[in-house]
Amino acid sequence: MKTMLALTALAGALYVAPATAQSPADGTNTRVVRYADLDLGTEKGRDALDRRIRVAVSAACGTASSVDPEGKREVRRCKADTLAHVAAQRDQAIASLQTAPTLLASQ
């Protein structure tokens, strides 16, 4: 099973120095969300994955000063766009549990 989700956000479009200072040259800021330790077949496991995704998205998109309304809009847009982009990867990780073959061993 794939054990990580890559989250990307357009950090170059943000007005946030910490987010852009750590970005690669192509302008994307990537975070890895590991989930091999989670049981995605349970609601608790899926909730934990969702929390990890939200934390990673927040880290990738950064923050804006409270006196920068345009920057705050960009951060909100970044978070919404990134969550939408990652939703398919999340759903695929969960669906892979249903399509993966079950291996049984006996002696």
Whether pTM > 0.75 for this model: the answer is no
What is the structure's pLDDT at 18? 29
What is the structure's pLDDT at 88? 84
- Residues listed for the chain: 107
Q: What is the DSSP string of 16-81?
A: -HHHHHT--TTSEEEEEEE-TTS-TTSHHHHHHHHHHHHHHHHHHH----TT-HHHHHHHHHHHHH
What is the structure's pLDDT at 70? 92
Residue 49: Cβ within 10 Å count: 20
Q: pLDDT tens, position by position, for the chain (107 residues)?
A: 344 555 554 332 222 222 333 445 556 677 888 888 888 889 999 999 899 989 988 988 889 898 999 999 999 998 988 888 888 888 888 887 755 555 555 55
The full set of domain ranges for the chain reads: 4-99
